Structure 1
Amino acid sequence: MSTHPSVEKFKDLFEEELETLYFAESQLLKALPLVKKGVFNKELAHVLVQQTAQTKIYVKSLKSALNHLGRRVSITRNATSEAMLSELTHLVKRFPRGNLRDAALLALLQRLEHHRAARYLSTIALAKQMGEEGILDFLKEAASFDSVSAKRFAQIALQVNAEAFIDTHSERCPPAVPPLT
């Protein structure tokens, strides 16, 4: 999807990965406030506010990293990120506000966090090879935050899923859900 010429050097690969991260984080920054407005669970709304604040930092840090490398910030689109973010806004429209919508959003948010963490981890390997210690520190911090966020979403999902199950008047009793440790 990129309009960049073919990648022939390792440095170009590294920079393109940073641009892809920049695009994904910029798109997420636009989507999170819309998603937050559509959630029912207060804890989830709070986590989304924190996620938005952290994503703003990521966008600034990625832009700084690209500037540090002498790369003009351009958009390297990513189909996977675009599809997940499109699905987030679609879910807000598709489901009525409540626990069932939150359960659907949490399932997608968990997948999105795992995708983000994987993208950061793969870019960490590139940064190590490039010897980019300053950028490496930021990437490690981002990967760590995404891992923690995924766990928080999973914990919230346990409660929201149980409530959504009850709300939809299912005939079976919901399973007991032990807390995550």
Structure 2
Amino acid sequence: MANESLHDLLVADLQYLYFADRQLKKAFPKFARAATSDSLKRLCEEGVEYTAERLERLETVFDALDVNPRAKTSHGMKGLIEEARQVAEKDLASGVKDAALLAAIQRISHYGIASYGTAAAYADAVGEKKAARILAKSLREKKEADEEMTEMAETEINPAALEGEDEEYE
């Protein structure tokens, strides 16, 4: 590791992101099927499209850096997706399941925010301005999605989960 450069760290982070987004693109349809809220289903369905766009951008970044696109296993993302899959498979009241699933997806999103932010900062630091701009666009989208999920949780999903709990105890 002592011989690695910041450019090497950038490439490694891009490889982790490539793995993460490829796995997430495969997982979103299962999350959509598990969701009962129309809003959460829509978020997951749109997540497939947005993730595909980010993957294309990552390929453009790899090309700009003259590096072959290659995925490097991200154990962190692998674990977060597995946790979300387990939530999707649990037998929970629909409102509670939606709340748990949204929270799991939001944790995945937070991983993406941290990862895209780091990669964009590395790209900027090593003078890869085109790569930095492309990564910053994905970072902005991840942050916007996070805000949407927070609002969805606060205004729809969590209140519905509470309402369902109240009905169970009556």
Q: Pairwise mapping of residues 83-162 of structure 1 onto structure 2 (< 5 A)?
A: 83-96=79-92, 98-158=94-154, 159-162=156-159
How far apart are the structure 1 equivalents of 2:3 and 2:63?
Answer: 19
1:67 CA displacement: 2.7
How far apart are the structure 1 equivalents of 2:127 and 2:167?
Answer: 55
Q: Which residue of 1 aligns with 2:19?
A: 23
Q: Deviations over 1:145-168 (max 9, x none)?
A: 111111111111122111111212
TM-score, with structure 1 as normaliser:
0.85
The RMSD of aligned alpha carbons is: 2.0
Tell me the percent identity: 23
1:134 CA displacement: 1.5
Give the conservation status (yes or no) of the 8 Å contact 1:19–1:76. Answer: yes
How far apart are the structure 1 equivalents of 2:145 and 2:9?
Answer: 27
1:74 CA displacement: 2.0
Give the conservation status (yes or no) of the 8 Å contact 1:18–1:123. Answer: yes
TM-score, with structure 2 as normaliser:
0.90
Say if 2:73 is the partner of 1:73. Answer: no
Structure with a larger share of its residues in helix? 2
Aligned residues: 168
How far apart are the structure 1 equivalents of 2:168 and 2:33?
Answer: 31
The unaligned stretches of length 5 or more in structure 2 are none
How far apart are the structure 1 equivalents of 2:131 and 2:91?
Answer: 40
1:20 CA displacement: 0.8
Say if 2:162 is the partner of 1:165. Answer: yes
How far apart are the structure 2 equivalents of 1:25 and 1:57?
Answer: 10
Q: Which residue of 1 aligns with 2:34?
A: 38
